[in-house]
Structure 1
């Protein structure tokens, strides 16, 4: 009887409680208080008598279990995660890999890895105006990293003055603790200021001398590794990464400028330019010496390989490593052991094992690999996700997942964190150099099937655009091809996107771009232009491919509907301003934020701030204070079936905010900003059902939800729900798996 009675009394309570909430809207507060008191006392007595639990009092559905998993990072969190975007690395003789990033959300700008594991970090690289950089090296005593120190208003504690930045080399011991020196700067005296103008772009070392590329001054500076005093300097145009060979001479990457190509130049330790140089590499991005004294150079051009040069006399290329064309060889975009992409680091240890880091393009994420001397993959460490979320391909029932740059294949029979396989990197900068992902920072992903074909839609943190990608497996493999883009009107007038990209964009107003000739380039005759209210509130792509947009407007007409007009001859979705429909905002919304329309049931879900629950301050990225459901929307119904108040700020302290919402199947999901807690509501009634919180699989932790579309839900054919939540703090997406009990 216990199991049967609990849900039944729960239903009675929920109906009565809804009645109380309705009374509250009429202002009959005294009646509300009295009825609520009698209701609670009565039900409490009944359930005390029959010995049942009152779990239903906070959840209509009996509390059911959910599982926490993740994708995109080798490790789940806690003390172990792979950092964002390794920009440089140094491989020690014993196989320890020291790395440097400009930014890691969780504070590991400089990590230490060995044997496929995270074994440490260089400390104190994050916060108080500090970030990492693009160079790192080490000797038998110390590790040296390029870094940046900004002002924090504490000159008395040896921070830069206001408006000033120090571009530094910071010294650490091999365990990762800062190693101060007599003339050191900064609060702990471990920083060497190299420039106030430009970042340190390269580091190389012998036991006694540290070589530093000062690109701002076109010089290489030489310091004593113990005292950190400058010994000498010499001119080198545009110096970048460098290494020291067995004779003590320097090999320096000289970056390209204008019509001058990049090349590798050769200098003596005292600054004399030597005759040998390497000029046949399109884009050298990293350089090191291998265990045999040969030069290793990462070519980040179309070949996407590591090149090996014998430098005993005239440099001669003797080997290549990695597949020709990298990830774009074979099936373009398909991830394989020897397919590299976006190389930022190369090196070997004393036994000849090879280490290569790939970052993708436009800071796509870390892919650090170790290979045996024969070229077999030994281990791979991934930290792929930053300010991003995932969505499921509806045709494959959640087996194929997409983020803004990656495709993952799921096997849900495996343990948490082991269910995903990194299958594809979907950006090709060589074939599609105007891909918006190379010029903007999208972060919210929808996967849709239109006429059976897959499409990916992306928006950004401030909802200023919506990007559209198609696929052509026969010609482009796994690559997502730029197909279209919506861009809103810029506040203050002028071009919607400042700068040289995209070419030919309208001089003012908003626009829709469609790749009319299928080449992925923005061309003059490919824009549809309009002018509309510039204050954007939210995007949505429904299951039929229609695009919806909300405007945070107060004129009462804040919903835009762009019905899909079909696919063109190249497979691009067609949207036009002439077919756009304007729809009224329901009157109780004062600031409309999100829209999700379900065409199969003609159901509309809207969120925003309301007359009853107005905003406190202006949090531009949040959902608002209420979510409402409307039935028969296409018939003009603006009376909500239900309204639910969600966690929102009422104090001005911004401690309680809801970042994102997503509707799937029978439930509405929302996630809070700071606690990253998922609230689940019944889509039929609006009643609260259950909370999800990060489980032990991810160390019970999450960063803040930073993006408007930081949650995405998907119902599988077996009734299980997959709920994807942004977790950029430690470079992953959290995946909740939940199978609710029948509560109809």
Structure 2
């Protein structure tokens, strides 16, 4: 860039800095959302993961899970409504768990207690540094926020000490060691707990919480108490094929076990009012299996759910009885069946928190009565370039009907991940969450590009609706650092490689990887962007910008990218570091954000887009011209902090979002501030922390209205703003 061009840019910088001195007006927007049954307008939301449930006779469903971003790990639902959550299972060393049981007085919740790397200190309240507790928190059945103490509190005023007085520590283990309680069942007098890692079931007095007995059982899991006082228990649950044991009230094994089908993966168990034993099968069947007593034993008598679940018929199409990753089953006194799913099953890793929690109720005749959904976490949304009113997220598709009220405008239309057909899908081998979407139509076909939460690598998916339904088939992958891809099958050592599914089977075969041999290590940088021509751009901090040119489609329909067809651009002036680079092929314009000598990088805010935005025209000419230089919001001492975490360009505007969810809108042509968007009453004026590099996208509709999508992790959804500029621009 010439000194004259740079001088003009700095003059423009000073002018726009003056404009920023004036408050940006609030834009007239409607706030809506996708992915959660409830929007938090009334304080309710569906938790993002459910790994266990217990059902009261009157149909209240008590849930548990290791993690919900806003603390609803243990929640209560009835008749399609969230009644509340227990609290005390999130933060200050606390976590939820994988088991829950109830009796007439109490809810017993499996929990974990840590010490935040030794920062929490209190005898009897937190474990010693380097240790982790697993145990049971007892709550009042009528209000699970109220702890039901069974021992004296260490302090009468410390709320954490009060919670500790209602906590039974079962395992005290070194940090990083598993000691979860993976099954609970209760009568009015007795509590049964599966101490899985210790190969035993422990028996407690339900009132005093004193241990009365223990029974040797190999890796026990879920427990169901039958009407005669006997117990049905899942055993060998740390392996791939759990089995079922029937124990009498003294823990002796009975001989009438269940004849599970060979491909069954039993993950939960219940007994209905008729005495039938229900098994939640998370194997290929994806069904609830009913076993009835017959000829002195038990036989499979019926099922609930389509065989194959969501993967049958049109793979990935959700609907009644199309289960997806069963985690729990329960029954009320009227025979209504309740099923929880999370897209994968009750894995110990938190992957399920990104694949979508669903809780459903079915009448005895199999008709679905109600459901609640919490489908999104660390996720964004991007309009489908091939279908109107169709939206992709990291591993789902939704349809929109904007004629409906806010919050009712979305319908869950597709689950994109098929672990049975494509077990190598990097969703299971790289991240805890699917990733942030960019959808592009190339050569007449739609492709989905996903960045991970830390912008380390880029996943590429293709679609073949005729063969795979809604499933997104693994198609390509550009790796970053080695650590993030260690579990990718057959991957070369060191990271920094490209994979393409050259034989079309969706598996990571050893001969499909191309290591980077350019001599320059390309890992690192926060800015991934895929332009409308299919070129992939990456902003790499002080190392400039890389461009992988779209090389067309191979014989199997995969987009082709290679190190041989990559262009590297130096850091353009006035930047010292570039954090995002968004290229518009239609105008040959590049929008770069980052830091300059006058507005330097702050290592305490390492995900941000930076403090300056420059639009360059004639980018491909070799002599780009800075049209304007725009100072971006940057006040790290504000409460909450005021910086920008993500941006996108669409129509005539640049849209940028702060970590707390405020969206700033600028004229794309001039850089002039236009206004801001804030969460409205529809979502309780609330947004969680936006903490990913691609947490915002926008789409201009044919009538000039803009849809702006923003990540909203706090309560399991993506915010959707609807904005119609005063002039049709």
Length-normalised TM-score, structure 2: 0.91
Once the two structures are superposed, what CA deviation does each residue of 1:141-183 show, in whole Å capped at 9, x if it has no partner? 1100100011242224622111211101110011111100027
In the alignment, does 2:396 pair up with 1:406? yes
Q: Tell me, in whole angstroms, the C-alpha distance in 1 between the residues paired with 2:83 and 2:335.
A: 21
In the alignment, does 2:155 pair up with 1:179? no
- Given candidates 710, 718, 721, the residue that maps to 2:695 is 710
> Considering only CA atoms, is the larger Rg found in Structure 1 or Structure 2?
1
| Root mean square deviation, CA, Å | 2.3
Q: Tell me, in whole angstroms, the C-alpha distance in 1 between the residues paired with 2:12 and 2:407.
A: 47
Partner of 2:136: 169
In the alignment, does 2:269 pair up with 1:287? yes
Q: Residues 200 and 257 (structure 1 numbering): CA distance in 2 closer, same or farther, change over 3 Å?
A: closer
- Larger deviation: 643-652 or 192-201? 643-652
Q: Tell me, in whole angstroms, the C-alpha distance in 2 between the residues paired with 1:388 and 1:25.
A: 36
Once the two structures are superposed, what CA deviation does each residue of 1:624-653 show, in whole Å capped at 9, x if it has no partner? 111111111111233311111111245599
Q: Tell me, in whole angstroms, the C-alpha distance in 2 between the residues paired with 1:411 and 1:679.
A: 26
Q: Tell me, in whole angstroms, the C-alpha distance in 2 between the residues paired with 1:345 and 1:105.
A: 21
In the alignment, does 2:41 pair up with 1:84? no
Task: Trace 1:295-694 onto structure 2 (pairs within 5 A).
Answer: 295-311=277-293, 313-361=296-344, 362-363=351-352, 364-397=355-388, 399-439=389-429, 440=431, 441-488=433-480, 490=481, 495-497=482-484, 499=486, 501-530=487-516, 531-554=520-543, 558-649=544-635, 651=637, 655-674=641-660, 676-694=661-679
Contact map agreement 1:184 1:192 (CA 8 A) in 2: no
CA apart distance, 1:256: 4.9
In the alignment, does 2:100 pair up with 1:136? yes
Q: Residues 634 and 139 (structure 1 numbering): CA distance in 2 closer, same or farther, change over 3 Å?
A: same
CA apart distance, 1:132: 0.4
Q: Tell me, in whole angstroms, the C-alpha distance in 2 between the residues paired with 1:279 and 1:192.
A: 35
Partner of 1:49: none
CA apart distance, 1:461: 1.4
Q: Match of 2:626, SS?
A: coil
Q: Match of 2:645, SS?
A: strand
CA apart distance, 1:395: 2.8
Partner of 1:29: none
In the alignment, does 2:193 pair up with 1:193? no
In the alignment, does 2:712 pair up with 1:727? yes
Q: Residues 388 and 615 (structure 1 numbering): CA distance in 2 closer, same or farther, change over 3 Å?
A: same
In the alignment, does 2:94 pair up with 1:114? no
Q: Tell me, in whole angstroms, the C-alpha distance in 2 between the residues paired with 1:484 and 1:98.
A: 41
Q: Residues 343 and 743 (structure 1 numbering): CA distance in 2 closer, same or farther, change over 3 Å?
A: closer
Q: Tell me, in whole angstroms, the C-alpha distance in 1 between the residues paired with 2:435 and 2:190.
A: 44
Contact map agreement 2:232 2:247 (CA 8 A) in 1: yes
- Larger deviation: 114-123 or 533-542? 533-542
- Larger deviation: 463-472 or 631-640? 631-640
Q: Match of 1:22, SS?
A: helix
CA apart distance, 1:279: 5.0
CA apart distance, 1:194: 0.7
Partner of 1:269: 249
CA apart distance, 1:584: 2.0
Contact map agreement 1:214 1:221 (CA 8 A) in 2: yes
Q: Match of 1:707, SS?
A: coil
Once the two structures are superposed, what CA deviation does each residue of 1:89-122 show, in whole Å capped at 9, x if it has no partner? 0111000000001111111111011111111221
Q: Tell me, in whole angstroms, the C-alpha distance in 1 between the residues paired with 2:190 and 2:48.
A: 30
CA apart distance, 1:123: 2.9
Q: Tell me, in whole angstroms, the C-alpha distance in 2 between the residues paired with 1:230 and 1:311.
A: 33
Q: Tell me, in whole angstroms, the C-alpha distance in 2 between the residues paired with 1:412 and 1:498.
A: 40
Task: Trace 1:22-33 onto structure 2 (pairs within 5 A).
Answer: 22=11
Q: Residues 56 and 592 (structure 1 numbering): CA distance in 2 closer, same or farther, change over 3 Å?
A: closer
Return the structure number with greater relative CO, CA threshold 8 A, min gap 6: 2
Q: Residues 391 and 743 (structure 1 numbering): CA distance in 2 closer, same or farther, change over 3 Å?
A: closer
Aligned residues: 689
Contact map agreement 1:593 1:606 (CA 8 A) in 2: yes
Partner of 1:243: 224
Once the two structures are superposed, what CA deviation does each residue of 1:426-474 show, in whole Å capped at 9, x if it has no partner? 1110010011112223331111111121111101111111001111111
Contact map agreement 2:688 2:714 (CA 8 A) in 1: yes
Q: Match of 2:451, SS?
A: strand
CA apart distance, 1:404: 1.0
Once the two structures are superposed, what CA deviation does each residue of 1:3-49 show, in whole Å capped at 9, x if it has no partner? xxxxxxxxxxxxxxx999728759xxxxx99xx8xxx9xxxxxxxxx
Q: Tell me, in whole angstroms, the C-alpha distance in 2 between the residues paired with 1:498 and 1:375.
A: 43
Q: Tell me, in whole angstroms, the C-alpha distance in 1 between the residues paired with 2:400 and 2:125.
A: 51
CA apart distance, 1:56: 13
Q: Residues 706 and 202 (structure 1 numbering): CA distance in 2 closer, same or farther, change over 3 Å?
A: same
Contact map agreement 1:616 1:651 (CA 8 A) in 2: no
CA apart distance, 1:351: 1.1
Q: Match of 2:511, SS?
A: helix
Contact map agreement 2:595 2:601 (CA 8 A) in 1: yes
Contact map agreement 1:535 1:551 (CA 8 A) in 2: yes
